[in-house]
Structure 1
Amino acid sequence: MKAAVITVSDRVSIGEAVDLSGPAVAEMLEVYGFTVAGAEVVPDGIAPVVAGLERWIGKVALVVTTGGTGLSQRDLTPEATQAVIERQAPGLSEAMRAATFGKTQHGMLSRGVCGAVGNTLVVNLPGSVKGATESLEVIGPALTHAVELLGAHPTDHNAPTL
C-alpha cells in the first residue's frame, strides 16, 4: 500500500528550518506496512495544503500531513483537509488526542482531522516530531485496515458468510 507525507510549515518551505517530522513519519509508515511513494513540503495556509492533498488523492491509499494543526493564525491544515475529504473519521483524531493528552496537556490543542476522499485516507498529525510520532503510534496499527475498508485494497471484510 502506498502513502504520501506532506509537511506543512512556512519555515521549512522557505528553507529557514529543516523538516524533521516528515522523515520521521515516513519511517514509521514503512514499519506499519506502507511504501512511501513521495513526500513534500508546503507552506501553511488552506490553498497550499489543498493543492498538496489533491496531488496525492487517488494515487495513494494514505496521505499523512504533519504540521499546521495548532491554534496559530496560519495553522489551517484541518480546514484545508475538511475542504477536501468526503467523510470524516473522527475516531482516529479522537484516539490521537486522548492518548497524547496523557503525555502532554498540549495534546488537547491539536485540531487535526482525519477522513476519506474516494479510496484515500487523509490523516492530520501535529508538526513536532514528538507529537507526530506519538500520534502515529496510536493509530498506526489501524491504518492498514482503514485503507482496506475504503476499497483501495480489497479484503474479505464484506464477504458473505455461509
Structure 2
Amino acid sequence: MKPSTQPNAAPIGVLTVSDRASRGEYEDKGGPGVVAALSDIMASPWRAVMRVVPDERPAIEAALRELADSQGCSLILTTGGTGPASRDVTPEATEAVCDRLLPGFGELMRTASLREVPTAILSRQIAGTRGAALIVNLPGKPSAIRTCLDAVFPAIPYCIDLIGGAYLETDPAVCRAFRPKA
C-alpha cells in the first residue's frame, strides 16, 4: 500500500544519512528506496516521515529522537552510514538512542545480503528499540535495502506489538508477517 495522507495512518520514519544528499549535491535514492519497498510490503495505512541528515552522530541521534519521541513513529528505518568508513556512524548513533539492541536483525540482514555480494560482511547495521519505536539500520543502495527488508520484515510487526507501537499489517502475498496465534 502506498503512503497515505490520512492523519490516522501509522507514521513510519525514513531517515537518510548522507553528507552529499543533505547538502543537495546528490539525489537521495535510499529514502525513496525504503518508501518503494514499504509500498509493496505494507497493507495497513501508513505515512512516511522523511528526514535527511549528514553523516554526523549528533544530527543522526537528534533525528532518531525526534522521529520516535515527537513524531510518534513506531518504526524508523535508516538508510546509509553503516559501512566501515570513518564517517559511517549510523550504528553508533542508533545504539546511543536505543533502550535495547536487537542483534538478530543485523545478523539476518548481513546473511541475506551475503547471498548477493561478498562485501555484506563490511556492513555494521544494527536494530534496537526506543520506547515504543523499533529502529532498523539499512544500507544505502535501494536493491540492498529491499534484500534486507525482505529478510527482517516478517518479524517487524510482532516486535512493534511487543513494545506497544502501532499495529502494522503486511500484504501476505509479499511478506508474511509472523504473529503467534492467540
Q: Which moved more, 1:56-65 or 1:145-154?
A: 145-154
Deviation per residue, 1:49-76 (Å, 9 max, x gap): 0011011113111000000000111000
Contact 1:29 1:140 in 2 (8 A): no
Question: Which residue identity is paired with 2:133?
Answer: T
Query: Contact 2:29/2:140 (CA < 8 Å) preserved in 1?
Result: no
Q: Say whether residues 1:36 and 2:47 are aligned partners.
A: yes
The normalised TM-score by structure 2 is 0.81
Q: Quick one: which amino acid aligns to residue 11 of structure 2?
A: K
Following the alignment from structure 2 to structure 1, what is the Cα–Cα distance between the partners of residues 58 and 67?
15
Q: Check whether the contact 2:35–2:48 (CA below 8 A) recurs between aligned residues.
A: no
Give the alignment's TM-score, normalised by structure 1: 0.90
How much identity, in percent, do the aligned residues show? 38
Partner of 1:11: 20
Structure 1, unaligned runs of 5 or more: none
The total of aligned residue pairs comes to: 159
Matched, 1:65 2:74: no
In the alignment, residue 62 of structure 1 is paired with which amino acid?
L
Say if 1:32 and 1:141, in contact at 8 Å, map to a contact too. no
Which stretch of structure 1 is more off in the superposition, 92-101 or 136-145?
136-145
Q: State the partner residue of 2:129.
A: 116
In 2, the alpha carbon distance for the partners of 1:117 and 1:44 equals 21
Partner Cα distance (1:28, 1:136) in 2: 8
More moved, 117-126 vs 30-39 = 30-39
Asked if residue 99 in structure 1 is aligned to residue 112 in structure 2, the reply is: yes
Q: 1: CA distance between counterparts of 2:16 and 2:47?
A: 14
The match for 2:175 is: none
- The one-letter code of the counterpart of 1:25 is V
Find the residue that maps to 2:109 and give its secondary structure: helix
Distance 2:36 2:126 in 1: 21
2:67 matched residue in structure 1: 56
Q: Name the structure 1 match of 2:156.
A: 143
C-alpha distance in 2 between matches for 1:123 and 1:112: 8
**For the aligned residues, what is the CA RMSD?**
2.0
CA distance in 1, matches of 2:114, 2:180: 35
**Matched AA of 2:16:** T
Q: Does 1:21 align with 2:41?
A: no
Alpha-carbon distance between aligned partners in 2 of 1:51 and 1:37, rounded to the nearest angstrom: 18
Task: Please state how far the C-alpha of 1:45 moved relative to its aligned partner.
Answer: 1.5
Q: Which moved more, 1:128-137 or 1:82-91?
A: 128-137
Q: Which runs of 5+ in 2 are unaligned?
A: 1-9, 168-178
Structure 1, 116-125 or 129-138: larger mean CA deviation: 129-138
Shift of 1:153: 3.8
Aligned-pair distance for 1:148? 1.0
Which residue pairs with 1:2 in the alignment? 11
